[in-house]
Structures are given as C-alpha cells and as structure tokens.
Homo-oligomer: A and B are copies of this chain.
C-alpha cells in the first residue's frame, strides 16, 4: 500500500478509508496517541494505537524522532485539536530514535543550540515551518518574474572580475599554500591556478546581469553571493542568496514600482500558501516576546504586519528629505544616535534607517537620490551633479532589504566616474561594451533573500532562516 502524506490525510474529504502514513514521531502520549509528522505540513496526524494488542517491545520503540509506518482507518477524531485521526491496525518501526541520545526532545531549545544542530533543527515545528516558508517564497520569486516574461540568468559564482566593490571577497583557488607557484619577481603566479588568473566568489551578479538585460530586456538572477566580512551580527551572513532583477528601458520610478509590486506579490503568495506555518510562527513570536519589555515587542502580530505591508504603499522619501527629518528628530537632538546627523552628505547608519521606518513613518520606506559619493560608481548621476538615482528599501525590524538604482547609461559620464574612483577600465571593458553598443536607460536592484525570509517569518536572527548558515568561524556541515 502506497503511503499518503499527512497533509493530504488532514485535507481528506472522505473518512473510513484504509490508509498508510509514514513519518516521524513527535510525541507519544499515554502509550496510545502518536503525533506523527512527515514534514508535508506543520500539523501532525494523531495515530491511535491499540496498545492492548500491540507488543510491549514495539510500544517501547515509539519514541520522539523514531520513523514509523502506520496502517489503519482514517476516522473523524473524537479528541479536540484535530479533525481526523488514524485508528492504527499495524504499527511498524522503521528507524529507532534513542530517547537518551536524540537531541531534539520535545522541549524548549535555545536557538543557539539549534544552530549547532542545523541538520536536526529542521525536525522541530519552528524550523520545519521556516524552511517551508522559505521554499514557497523562493517559488514566488520565480513565479513573479517568469509570469512577467523575465529571463532567469545564472550569473557566475566564481568570478575573475574584482572591480564590483560591493564587499570583501573570498579567494577561490586550486593552488597549494605550500610551494605556491611564483613568478620571477616572487609574486603568486596565478597563471598556474585553475583558471589561469586570480578568482573570487561573487559579491553580486549585477554587472553580468546588465549585459544580459541589454539583450533580453528583462532578466533576474537568484543565486548565492558572498561577503568575506567579519560581521558577527544578526543581519549578516558570509553566504546568502540574492535576487537581482535588471530591466532595460526602466528608470528609477519604474524600478521602485517593480520592487514594491514584487515584494507585495511574494508576501501575498506566502500568506496564501503558508497559512498554517505563518500562524504557527506568529504564535511562536508572541510567546518569545512575552519575556521582553513592552517597548521591544512587535507593534503588530506577524500576520497583521504582513497584511499591513500589502495594503499600504511604501513611503517614497528623498535622501535630502530624510536628512531633514533625522536632523530634527528627538534622538538626534538628544544625542541618542551613535552617529549624529549634522549635515547633508552623511551616510545613514542602521540606527537612522530604523528610526525613519519604525518611529517616523511606521511603514516600509524607499529612500532615493542619495549623494553620489556614498554610492557605487554605476549609478546614474542626476542633473544636480551631486546625487545619484539610487534607492534603498527599508523594512521595519530588518533595515535595508533592497538596494538598487537606475544605471549610468552614458559612456562618457561612466568613464569619468571610473577614472575618479580609479576603477580599472580594461578590467571592466566587457561591462563598458553595454554602453558602447546600443546603450539605453536601465535599472535594477538587489534583494537579500534571507532578509525577506526574516521579515516574513518574524524571526530575528538571519542564521535561523537559511538551512546551514555560514558566518565567521562557522562552516559546519
């Protein structure tokens, strides 16, 4: 008999069928009630064991974490909390789980303990839910872009180009540290390396993505990116997944429209397709925040917060307006900010971004038209000669979730900027070809996928929304 997924059993329209379920024991109560989970849903199916006619030896082996196969009749449940249950006829232990040794016992574990057991934490309710939500959000990303005719582009992970300047890079090499091949003047001879040159892990697929947008019109990337930065924070990972759409003929306004529409779409998709998981995570968050002082708790329960984002436009504010707001703000005047905002041109710190989003506007904010000298070389210079067509989207509790811009499509202006920043033109000659041949207005952005998952799941540490987090000092598994 083929087994049926727990999710399908719980959604069944008929009862009194003979069914088989396979999964893992979450709990076993009164020597009679197995809460069985197979990962297809956050919900368990209750399996009622006829303990009088089941060998004592078998019952003993029904422990948390054990894999079992149960066959029996699907009936309406008399107990509270579930619609259906299985009246078990045969119970088979597929794989034992020694109660003395299995680390994921049904009790409260610290998130830190769970991180150290990243290969097992997914067997808990919370992490099962998070990983299902993450998966559904990933699909929503693809569905959104594909339905709009975007082409998915896998930009390279190993890159020979190091001029992007988005962050510190990891070296990729097949050269040995001992007896490293050297040139005559004693430098490392990368010609002897696998790719015949120095290579790194990508920090962004944008530049390569632009070359494709200038041929295919609308493209997006969705792949891993890397930062070799020693940032031990709850918002940074050394390896994370990024989504980078790039659209020919889009200007900054189109870019903001796209980003906002996109984010609302994927959140709505998660709400529509992960209701049970999100409800569970909402409860988890409420529970967790009980121990926090009122001021540190979320202003809204999770589902309300997600719906709020769907129903309200993101507030669009220029950098210049933002500086005015910040300069006049109470924490600035009372010198509560670590970095006091005195004048136009200052780079915004995460404390300022959070103030704008969480205290002042109380909704997602799109900041745009930043000073040129705090932004990347490829952003389009405004008529004022001092700001660029950049945008950052800031989310409550998360901070920056999107960074993007209209790109500098004018060859001469771009070259001048590169010269000023001493960026090697030769190295980026292929990128400049987009401006040499058939250049056009275009724009795009990058969205850190894990920050989106953080927001949607209500988790607070980015290490808890990626299967196997990579951070300084941690590359287990």
Contacts and interface: CB of A to CB of B under 8 A. Distances in A.
A201 interface: yes
Given A216-B128, A472-B195, A239 B159 contact: no
Contacts of A153: 131, 135, 467
A128 B217 CA distance: 11
Contacts of A375: none
Given A151-B39, A224-B157, A177 B170 contact: no
A441 B3 CA distance: 13
Contacts of A239: 156-158
A390 B163 CA distance: 45
A174 interface: yes
Interface string A187-226: 0100000111101010000001001101111100001101
Contact of A159 (B38, B104, B475): B475
Interface in A154-200: 154-161, 168, 170-175, 177-178, 180, 188, 194-197, 199
Contact of A477 (B5, B95, B138, B430): B430
Given A154-B224, A216-B122, A173 B171 contact: yes
A67 interface: yes
B138 A475 contact: no
A437 B64 CA distance: 9
B39 A122 contact: no
B158 A477 contact: no
Contacts of A212: 122, 131, 467
Interface string A93-130: 01111100110100000000000000110110000100
Nearest to A442: B67
Interface in A18-71: 22-25, 38-40, 65-67
Interface residues of A, number: 106
A438 interface: yes
A152 B138 contact: yes
Contact of A474 (B3, B195, B216, B437): B195
B409 A95 contact: yes
Contact of A97 (B132, B438, B470): B438
A476 interface: yes
A475 B174 CA distance: 13
A433 interface: yes
A475 B154 contact: no
A7 B149 contact: yes
Contacts of A67: 214, 438-440
A280 interface: no
Contacts of A437: 65-66, 95-98, 101-102, 104, 120
Nearest to A216: B39
A446 to B, nearest CB: 17
Nearest to A178: B188
Contact of A122 (B158, B211, B228): B211
A342 interface: no
A437 to B, nearest CB: 4
A248 interface: yes
A385 interface: no
Contact of A170 (B174, B248, B433, B467): B174
A475 B102 contact: no
Contacts of A23: 217
B438 A470 contact: no
B440 A161 contact: no
A221 B433 CA distance: 35
Contacts of A123: 214-215
Ordered nearest first, which 5 A-B pairs have the shortest CB separation? A95-B439, A39-B216, A195-B475, A160-B475, A39-B217
17 contacts: A22-B248, A39-B215, A39-B217, A96-B437, A104-B437, A122-B215, A123-B215, A135-B153, A142-B142, A153-B467, A154-B467, A156-B475, A173-B173, A177-B180, A196-B473, A224-B224, A430-B476
Given A98-B436, A135-B151, 9 more contacts: A5-B217, A39-B217, A94-B439, A156-B467, A157-B226, A170-B174, A170-B194, A194-B472, A195-B475
Interface of A: 3, 5, 7, 22-25, 38-40, 65-67, 94-98, 101-102, 104, 119-120, 122-123, 128, 131-132, 134-136, 138-139, 142-143, 146, 149-161, 168, 170-175, 177-178, 180, 188, 194-197, 199, 201, 208, 211-212, 214-218, 223-224, 226, 228, 230, 238-239, 241, 248-249, 409, 430-431, 433-441, 466-468, 470, 472-477
